[in-house]
Amino acid sequence: MLAITVDFDADIPVYRQIADGIRALIARGDLEHDDELPSVRQLGRNVGVNQNTVARAYRILADEGLVHMRQGQSVRVVIPDHAPESDSADEQEHRRLRDLISRWVLAGRDRAGIESIFADALDGFFDDPEKAGK
């Protein structure tokens, strides 16, 4: 069973939380190439959400190339090549990160607070599987 939790009170949509959780499991190596994911019905039941919500999360992951979906068949993990990111992909991620930092600064956080958030997130990602999916 996948260790995915969702926060129904969070600003992040539930389908995104599910996709983020699965993405984190793949990144940490808890899910490997060709591992079978639960059916949308089964994961929906386990997480307590509608199966359409899970299907939307799976479609996001499929669009990212992290899972392979085929009607009537299981959803399987696809580990992408570990080729270095292109410069344009790095630039896009850098922009997204700067946008996030900007929102935090506008919300009143200072540099130390933001560094603390990143440190906690990195520690949770690499050290605590339960936190990685949040």
Model confidence over 25-65: pLDDT tens digits? 988 889 999 999 999 999 999 999 999 999 999 999 998 88
Residues constituting the chain: 134
Q: Specify the CATH number for the domain of residue 67.
A: 1.10.10.10
**Do 38 and 6 fall into the same domain?**
yes
Q: Are residues 18 and 69 in the same domain?
A: yes
| pLDDT score of 95 | 82
Same domain, 102 and 38: no
In degrees, rounded to 5, the angle at the alpha carbon of residue 110 between the alpha carbons of residues 106 and 112 is 150
Q: What is the pLDDT of residues 61-116, one digit of tens each?
A: 998 889 999 877 899 999 876 544 556 667 777 888 888 888 888 889 999 999 99
Number of structural domains the chain divides into: 2
- The domain of 99 spans 84-134
The residue from 40, 58, 83 where one domain ends is: 83
- CA separation, residue 33 to residues 66, 77, 81, 109, 126 (Å): 9, 5, 11, 39, 19
Is residue 21 within 8 Å of 30, Cβ to Cβ? Answer: no
Nearest to 45 by CA among 4, 95, 86: 4
